[in-house]
Amino acid sequence: MQGAILDWYAAVRRDLPWRRTRDPYAILVSEVMLQQTQVARVVGRYEAWLERWPSAAALARATPAAVLREWVGLGYNRRALWLREACAIVARDGWPQTAAELVRLPGVGPYTAAAVASFAFGEQVAAVDTNVRRVAARLGRGEPAELLPAGRAGDFNQALMELGATVCRARAAACAECPAAGWCASRDMVAAPPRAGARKRERFEDSNRWVRGRIVSALAAGQGMPAGIAPERLEPALAGLVRDGLVRRTAAGLSLG
Helix count and strand count (H, E) for the chain: 13, 2
177 is an active site residue: no
- Strand, coil or helix: what is 96? coil
Q: Which of 31, 70, 123, 162 is catalytic?
A: 31
Rounded to the nearest 10 degrees, the angle between the axes of helix 110-121 and helix 24-34 is: 150
**C-beta separation of 149 from 142 below 8 A:** no
Residue 68 CB neighbour total at 10 angstroms: 24
Query: How distant is the alpha carbon of residue 121 from its chain centre?
Result: 19
With H, G, I as helix, E, B as strand and everything else as coil, classify residue 179.
Answer: coil
Distance CA(116)–CA(95), nearest Å, equals 11
Q: Which residues are known catalytic residues?
A: 31
